[in-house]
Amino acid sequence: MMPWTVYNQAGQRKYLTRGECASFLQAAQGRDANVRGFCWLLAATGCRISEALALTERNIDFETGQVIIECLKKRGKKVFRAIPLPPALLALLKTALETETLPRERLWPWSRMTGYRRVREVMEAAGIVGGHASPKGLRHAFGVCAIQSNVPLNLVQRWLGHADMKTTAIYTSAMGPEEREFASRMWVYGTGQSPAAGGATPKAKRLIRAPGVLRVNSRPGKAGAGATGNPVCNILPAPSEARDSGRPTSLLRLAILLNQQVTKRVKALAFAAC
């Protein structure tokens, strides 16, 4: 049996990204209060569609701002979990109950297939397609977003109703903004591009340096630049060059001394490693 991951057998992710979730909720705004509340609750709690369809007015605790969900995978054991709800969603549900837009016994008296279709309709309106465009994709998105928001793993486990924390830990394998940031630090090397500028070539910066100690040339076509125009460093030219320039050489001598000390240290470490 293939172990569960955040990717399917075709290598496609099973969860919605933050941007897709935002588009999904935006598309839900154009629906009636029933559909809007149902879609919002799924995205905000990560509950299973069957658990959402079983909710009644008694499951919404407006005083503490949370929903009490019965874990239907543990039928007969009466296991409940509490999940905080956004204030705006609580206000929507309260208004819908007071105006009887939502019934008090079962908030959404739909079949499982009807609930699934409502979610799929909103997904299509938001332009989200693929296997992850489903109620299960919203549940996975909740888990991934919680982990990437630094919510403690045991709390995410309780909110999702997982029996084993190993199942919850799988969401940590989804690539987050921090991981992408780490990777972006490597993209600048050998490209002459800056990830922060969206791929645009950064302008050469003026450096405060000792005369002739370190010259950086990032403009193609200039002396010292490589064939590709990538930055090339010229380190420590002959002291006569600095003297001929007529510039002070005190900083140059200091740089040469430091360079010699670093070279000795590197050689000593290399020798010790042999």
- How many CA within 13 A on the CB side of residue 50? 6
The 8-class DSSP code of residue 233 comes to: E
Type and span of the H or E element at 83: strand 80-84
> What per-residue confidence (pLDDT) applies to 183?
86
Q: How far is it, in rounded angstroms, from Cα 122 to Cα 133?
A: 9
The strand pairing partners of 66, in sequence order, are: 61, 84
Q: Which residues does the chain have with pLDDT short of 50?
A: 201-202, 204-246
> What per-residue confidence (pLDDT) applies to 224?
42
Q: How far is it, in rounded angstroms, from Cα 59 to Cα 102?
A: 13
CA distance to 64, 181, 195, 226, 230, per residue, from 185 (Å): 43, 7, 8, 22, 17
Q: How far is it, in rounded angstroms, from Cα 175 to Cα 194?
A: 21
Residue ranges of alpha helices (H) inside the chain are 18-28, 33-45, 49-53, 87-98, 112-125, 135-148, 153-160, 165-169, 177-187, 239-244, 250-273
Q: How many helices (H) and strands (E) does the chain have?
A: 11, 5
Q: What is the pTM of this model?
A: 0.67
Q: How far is it, in rounded angstroms, from Cα 108 to Cα 56?
A: 8
Q: How far is it, in rounded angstroms, from Cα 79 to Cα 70?
A: 6
Q: How far is it, in rounded angstroms, from Cα 114 to Cα 161?
A: 24
Do 106 and 20 contact (CB within 8 A), yes or no?
no
- CA-derived radius of gyration, the chain: 30
The CB-based long-range contact list for 34-40 (8 Å cut-off, 24+ gap) reads: 34/96, 34/101, 34/102, 34/108, 35/118, 35/121, 35/122, 36/92, 37/89, 37/92, 37/93, 37/96, 37/102, 37/107, 38/107, 38/108, 38/115, 38/118, 38/119, 39/118, 39/119, 39/122, 40/89, 40/92
Percent of the chain scoring above 70 in pLDDT: 70
> What per-residue confidence (pLDDT) applies to 75?
63
The 8-class DSSP code of residue 2 comes to: P
> What per-residue confidence (pLDDT) applies to 201?
47
